[in-house]
């Protein structure tokens, strides 16, 4: 593979030592990129973004409209508040380098660059807004700006790109196998297209040079939800499952409102005796009686005039029904109102279904339900599932930090892109936790282990060794045991010496 230009300077990649057979199909990717088979370069080709681009724009717009609904907004706030938490100093996420096998000075430089990345994102102030934007839209784009004259200064600015205007394009380069005459994939070329006019739904029907701006993959940060439609063409948001329950909830609410307005009043029914009058004269007589009782004379104090006011709501009007003779005269009765106007079980059912589609516990739907902080055994199953769901969201969102750190460290010369791809498996991002479920669980486990250790203490050295107790009771691995030995040795060496005692060599409790 040829060398890659990253923000104006070249990063060479290791060349493969063997020739790999060309695939016959395009590798499957979950980034929602538009796959094209044109050749001849980007600026000399035609790129049709009409179908996928407009459909995806409409989908993102629908997600944003859904997020403004009261029920969904409350559920999204619960998810965002649990996912991104700020302490008093504005700190919300740390980078963990315990498993990184590098010198301390390298670790300190990585920690310093991570703080710089958080500053560029303004994460201490806008962390929840960034996470909510990614959660609702299902994707997040940032343009990385660097100093072209001095790229070693690192990332200078991050510019948010509207996902309705930004799209990733993958160009497939194919050639024919001379032996089998079959088309095989010889390579791919990826880039981003930014179209400032696509937000209004305009069709991209001209040359890309006139309609859009081409951006390299290194200059754009792209993270998505990882959810794809069945055809794996469009990235979906986590709100996609809530589209149907939300529509059903709105229809049921509208139906209940209409039914209550139309059935709430007790309306009168007038049975007017029209005798043996012909139909035309009977209808005229009925209209005269209706107008006689419905006329409302109003005096206008501003103009001093008297006028008829016949402004009646059609759904609240009385019923007028003609009645022939046969012993039945004119009669006025009352039509009773609806009897089940207070029934809201349908609305509650769809509210619960809406919260289930977002993996939010139903108990959070009830505002009157109090929050109790008890033992870990009192935590409901729904809250446990919700906690695990939030952890998955955090892990997926951490790709943003991963991509930014890869570019920042490569620009600063701390490590190359290939080296970061290797060491990133040992680097983790730890988010602050607001719920105390994890702390309660760890505290109860430690309390249980200490209780067992107290009971088994008289038998240590007789039936059980200290090594076995530390491994099976306290659940300490070899690395933890080594750390404990070193710390206790340092504490014993630095402990103050009293006149009545003399310093003795510290002995490992695991021996």
- What value does the mean pLDDT take over residues 294-316? 59
Answer for the pair 138, 225: CB distance below 8 angstroms, yes or no: yes
* Number of residues that make up the chain: 511
137 pLDDT band, cuts 50/70/90, is: very high
> At 430, which helix (H) or strand (E)?
strand 428-431
The pLDDT of residue 185: 78
Q: For residue 431, which of 18, 95, 172, 75 has the smallest C-alpha distance?
A: 95
The pLDDT of residue 204: 41
Q: For residue 211, which of 38, 45, 40, 34 has the smallest C-alpha distance?
A: 45
Tens digit of each residue's pLDDT (9 = 90 or more) over 379-390: 677 878 888 899
Is residue 267 pLDDT above 80, yes or no?
Answer: no
pTM surpassing 0.85?
Answer: no
Integer Cα distance of 74 and 58 in angstroms: 23
The residue whose two tokens read 């935590």 is 379
Q: What are 188's strand-pairing partners? A: 172
Map residue 175 onto helix, strand or coil. strand
Answer for the pair 69, 246: CB distance below 8 angstroms, yes or no: yes
Integer Cα distance of 243 and 251 in angstroms: 12
Torsion of CA 471, 475, 477, 482, to 10 degrees: -80
CA 178 from centre of chain:
48
Integer Cα distance of 13 and 323 in angstroms: 95
Map residue 326 onto helix, strand or coil. coil
DSSP secondary structure string, 90-108?
Answer: S--EEEE-TT--S-HHHHH
Tens digit of each residue's pLDDT (9 = 90 or more) over 210-220: 567 889 999 99
Lowest mean pLDDT among 236-245, 332-341, 373-382, 502-511: 502-511
Average pLDDT, the chain: 78
DSSP secondary structure string, 44-113?
Answer: TS----HHHHHHHHHHHHHHHHHTTSHHHHHHHHHHHHHHS---TTS--EEEE-TT--S-HHHHHHHHHH
The pLDDT of residue 22: 45
């Amino acid at each position: 593979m040829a060398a890659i230009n990253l923000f104006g300077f070249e990063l060479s990649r290791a060349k493969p030592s063997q020739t790999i057979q060309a695939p016959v199909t395009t590798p499957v990717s979950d980034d929602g990129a538009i796959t094209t088979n044109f050749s001849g370069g980007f600026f000399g080709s035609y790129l049709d973004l009409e179908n996928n681009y407009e459909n995806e724009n409409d989908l993102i717009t629908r997600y944003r409209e859904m997020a403004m609904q009261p029920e969904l907004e409350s559920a999204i706030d619960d998810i965002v508040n649990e996912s991104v938490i700020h302490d008093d100093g504005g700190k919300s996420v740390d980078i963990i380098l315990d498993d990184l096998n590098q010198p301390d000075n390298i670790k300190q430089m990585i920690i310093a660059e991570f703080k710089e990345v958080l500053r560029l994102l303004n994460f201490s102030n806008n962390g929840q807004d960034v996470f909510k934007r990614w959660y609702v839209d299902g994707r997040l784009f940032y343009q990385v700006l660097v100093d072209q004259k001095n790229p070693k200064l690192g990332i200078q600015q991050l510019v948010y790109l509207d996902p309705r205007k930004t799209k990733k394009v993958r160009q497939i380069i194919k050639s024919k196998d001379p032996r089998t005459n079959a088309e095989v994939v010889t390579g791919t070329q990826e880039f981003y297209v930014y179209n400032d006019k696509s937000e209004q739904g305009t069709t991209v029907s001209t040359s890309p040079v006139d309609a859009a701006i081409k951006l390299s993959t290194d200059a754009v940060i792209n993270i998505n939800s990882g959810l794809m439609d069945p055809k794996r063409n469009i990235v979906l948001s986590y709100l996609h499952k809530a589209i149907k329950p939300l529509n059903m909830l709105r229809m049921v609410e509208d139906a209940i409102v209409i039914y209550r307005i139309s059935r709430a009043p007790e309306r009168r029914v007038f049975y007017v005796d029209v005798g043996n009058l012909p139909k035309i004269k009977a209808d005229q007589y009925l209209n005269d009686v209706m107008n006689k009782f419905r006329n409302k004379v109003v005096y206008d104090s501003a103009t001093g005039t008297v006028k008829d006011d016949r402004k009646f709501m059609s759904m609240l009007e009385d019923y007028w029904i003609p009645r022939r003779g046969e012993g039945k005269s004119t009669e006025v009765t009352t039509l009773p109102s609806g009897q089940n106007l207070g029934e809201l079980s349908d609305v509650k059912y769809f509210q619960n279904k809406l919260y289930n589609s977002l993996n939010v516990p139903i108990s959070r739907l009830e505002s009157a339900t109090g929050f109790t902080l008890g033992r870990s055994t009192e935590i409901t199953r729904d809250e446990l599932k919700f906690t695990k769901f939030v952890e998955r969201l955090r892990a997926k969102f951490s790709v943003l930090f991963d991509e930014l750190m890869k570019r920042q460290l490569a620009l600063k010369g701390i490590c190359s892109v290939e080296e970061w791809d290797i060491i990133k498996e040992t680097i983790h991002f730890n988010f602050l936790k607001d719920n105390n479920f994890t702390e309660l669980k760890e505290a109860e486990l430690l309390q249980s282990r200490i209780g067992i250790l107290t009971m088994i203490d008289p038998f240590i050295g007789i039936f059980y060794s200290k090594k076995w107790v530390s491994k099976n009771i306290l659940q300490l691995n070899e690395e933890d045991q080594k750390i404990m030995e070193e710390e206790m040795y340092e504490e014993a060496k630095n402990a103050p010496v009293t006149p009545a005692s003399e310093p003795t060599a510290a002995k490992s409790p695991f021996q």
